[in-house]
Structures are given as C-alpha cells and as structure tokens.
Amino acid sequence: MNHNTLVIEIKSTLDKLIAARTSLGYDYIVYGLLLINEDQTRVSNITKALYIDIAAHYETSWSCVEKNIRNTVNAIWTSENKTILEMIFNRTYMDKKPTNKEFFEYLYDFIFLSQETAPTQSEENVSSILCPVCNNKCQVLESMLSFVAKRLQPDCTHV
C-alpha cells in the first residue's frame, strides 16, 4: 500500500471514530501510525521513540505530543460510538479507555493487519457491504467486518 493510500485509510478510520480533524492529536496520530508502519518497535518505546519522532516532525515537545494524543483518545472514547469501538478495541466507551500505547497498537492492527489479510479483488464475494448513508460499496465497513471476523475465528478459512 502506498503512502497516500495509507494516509487515506488512517484518516478514514479516525473519522469513523469521530476524531476531530482540527485537533493536533489527530495529525499526531496519523503521523505516528505511519512511523509505526515503518518501524513497529517504535510503539514499544512510545515515549522515547514515537513521541520524540512526532515532536521533531512537528517542531514541538514530546510532552505536547503525548498530551494532544491523550486528549484525542479521550474525545474518541467519550463519543460513545459503541460499534466501532467494539470492532477495533474489543471494548466500549463504558469500559476503561486505552492508554495511548494501546490505542496505537489496536489501531495499527486494525488498519494495517486488516489490509494485509483483506481479500484481493478476485477473492471477494459477489455480494458487497453497502454503506447505509450513500448506498454504495463501502470498503471501510468491509475491512472492519473482515478484521472482526478474523479476530473471532482466526483459523476459519471461509473469511
């Protein structure tokens, strides 16, 4: 997947989580996920690796990066968007909110691992998932469904 496609996929997922595009945390999360995609060890040492790299890119301090990401995660968690929170994080807004590190880990797994395991065009079923708003084929919902199905039944070959 090329860089532009990754950015679109990340932003699309954050939009579904009702993250405010106007918050600095939104931009930091997008850039952070791109960095994690380049080197997955960054998330293991989030304070000394990921926050520092994001801060350098945006010319700010790592503590501002951490605070803005935390505020965005809090806003997402209080949005009460139960369905997508359950799909991505296996918990709802009523459960304990994830730490920034957990947020990155779950979101990375959802976006990037679901793309790796998503069926190719020839493997797709004839039936598609339609968006309830525009009534067109919805790749985001199909990706979410595929990801959830694989998490629930990792050995299943029908998904």
CATH class as words, domain 3-119: mainly alpha
Which is more confident, 43 or 151?
43
Domain ranges of the chain: 3-119
Helix 100-108 × helix 82-89 angle, to 10°: 80
141, pLDDT greater than 90:
no
100-111 confidence digits (pLDDT tens): 999 999 999 999
Residue 53 tokens, joined: 């790299």
CA separation for the pair 49, 15 (Å, rounded): 26
Query: Who contacts 72 (Cβ-Cβ below 8 Å, separation ≥6)?
Result: 19, 20, 23, 25, 26, 28, 29
32-63 confidence digits (pLDDT tens): 999 999 999 999 999 999 999 999 999 999 99
Write down the pTM of the prediction.
0.72
Query: Who contacts 18 (Cβ-Cβ below 8 Å, separation ≥6)?
Result: 75, 76, 79, 81
Q: Which residue has the tokens 């700010």?
A: 60
pLDDT band at 119 (very low <50, low <70, confident <90, very high): very low
CA separation for the pair 47, 66 (Å, rounded): 8
CB distance 50 to 97 below 8 Å: no
Average pLDDT score over residue span 17-30 = 96
